[in-house]
Amino acid sequence: MRKLKYCEDIRYFMDEVDVQILKLLWEDGRMPIYSIANRVGLSNAGVNKRLMAMKKRGELLGFSILLNPARVMKAATVSIRARKRRSEVWKAVEKIKGVMHFVACLGGRYYGDFWYRDEMELEEKLTLLKELTSAYRLDLYYYYKKDNAMIAKMDWKIIKELSEDGRIPFTELSKKLGVSTKTLSKRWKRLMENEICKVYPIVNRPLTRDLFWFSLFMEVENLNVEGKIKKIENLWRTSIFEKPKMIYGVFYAKTVKQIDDTIERIWNFPEMKKIYYEIIVEERFYPHYIDYVRYKYES
């Protein structure tokens, strides 16, 4: 039997270089291709080819806007343990407005990001969530909060357009919105500098082959330990919660042993108090949460 050779044009799974490209795009979803190519040691054509391949395999769903709950309204991550089937839980969650991201994990465990204007609205959502999913346990993690930023109507229009296509060239966007590319560039730079939002890649992680994806909710003594966590090679990203004091991290691994080794390494940090881990099996993104947040923000 003839032995098949690996071919760059025929790749059936996400590899380490793909992950490195996506990590860079997580930091800045509008990063130019040539900058990515320089960072990962590929040609511009090589980076484009990999992005197209990830889209074709369904691993990369596109680019959208991630609003920062520290500066825009409020958001909390809700951890759910439910008795219903996964399909029923998905249907239930989609009836609740303001959901940005929802993840299913092994063993009937779920978590999602829910936006809300005040505590009363959050309480209403939690009551509805518990009723619709038959949840027997809900745990809340509140994102770190600063003062709300002022967002002009034109900025919201830019955010809306980028939520549908985060890498649309400003030359095209200027025609849609009727403003110059110079004005768009200035407004976008200001939105980024004020940490109001960013463009990010929508990655369908459970669909990737040859990689396990897992999340860790890490209760800590000091949030500064995030700097140590960010040095772990197989980290995808982190978020910080102020109540309770926790760091959330998404990691990837090729083997179950690597998952275990990662957790053991983090346990060695003296700042660690508790670690809760979840193996991700399905996730969905809802870019239209932007419309909900804008409506609530302006009303």
pLDDT at 10: 45
- For the chain, the 3-state helix, strand and coil shares in percent, each to the nearest 5, are 40, 30, 30
The verdict on domain 205-282 having CATH code 3.40.720.10 is: no
Beta bridge partners of 239: 248
**Phi and psi dihedrals of 194, rounded to 5?**
-85, 5
Kindly list the distances between the CA atom of residue 47 and the CA atoms of 28, 65, 258, in Å, as whole numbers in the listed order: 15, 22, 27
User: How many Cβ atoms are within 10 Å of 55's Cβ, its own excluded?
Assistant: 12
pTM: 0.87
Same fold, 16-57 and 153-193: yes
CATH 3.40.50 given to domain 16-57: no
Residue-level pLDDT at 156: 96
Query: Among 242, 261, 262, 267, which Cα is nearest to 250's?
Result: 262
Residue 12: predicted pLDDT: 58
Residues of the chain with pLDDT under 50: 1-11
User: Tell me, what's the pLDDT at 120?
Assistant: 95
The string of pLDDT tens digits covering residues 125-135 is: 999 999 999 99
135 token code pair = 């949840």
Residues 21-73: tens digit of each pLDDT: 999 999 999 999 999 999 999 999 999 999 999 999 888 999 999 999 999 99
Domain boundary assignment for the chain: 16-57, 153-193, 205-282
Nearest to 240 by CA among 221, 226, 227: 226
Q: What is the pLDDT of residue 24?
A: 95
CATH code for 153-193?
A: 1.10.10
